[in-house]
Amino acid sequence: ISRLDAKFQKLPKIVQVQLQNLFSQNLTYKGLLRLEALLLQDKPFIPDLFPKIKMGNNIIKRIMLAHKGMKKFNKDNLFDIFLESRYSSLDVLILKGRFDLFKEYERFKKIWKKGLLSSLEISQITKIKGQRLGEVIIQLKRAQFERKIRNTYAAKKLLLNILHNISYQTLRMNKDC
């Protein structure tokens, strides 16, 4: 915990102020981070292992997401960490002491909220729906995050390439059956 407090001191002032806000069950974000650090183990987090600690679903979900991100942590797969950890990505960065990646997380949030192509545009172009559409959206947002595409023209070109690969895979699967 003392190492964690030292990390808190290095945080930007705006983040330090946010850590004082309540999260859930009268627990502040700072308290949540301490709890996440204390409960971090080599095994997946299982709330039933700690029967004396009464935690609400919000806290349990947040801890589970943070622990998932902590286990995946590697600078090469930031997109995957942010995608897996979702809104607890900031927790992962703080617990890992990687304050230099805050800007990358902010960039991820912007891309996730508004990518180069909307889901409506993607579904209109590809005529894909459901889970496949979600997979295509993730591929496009990953490419944008990794700076492989920077404009809508490049996004549409990549989308057509993805569509071609999906068609080829479907054709191959039907041929194998």
Residue 56 near residue 24 (C-beta atoms within 8 A): yes
Give the model's confidence band at 42: pLDDT under 50 very low, under 70 low, under 90 confident, else very high: low
**Per-residue model confidence as pLDDT tens digits over 24-40:** 999 999 999 998 888 88
Residues in Cβ contact with 82 at an 8 Å cutoff, skipping those fewer than 6 apart: 69, 89, 105, 108, 112
**Per-residue model confidence as pLDDT tens digits over 128-139:** 888 989 999 999
Please state, rounded to an integer, the average pLDDT across all residues of the chain. 86
**Per-residue model confidence as pLDDT tens digits over 74-108:** 766 899 999 988 889 999 999 888 889 999 999 99
CA distance 157 to 141: 14
Where are the extended beta strands (E) located within 51-145?
Answer: none
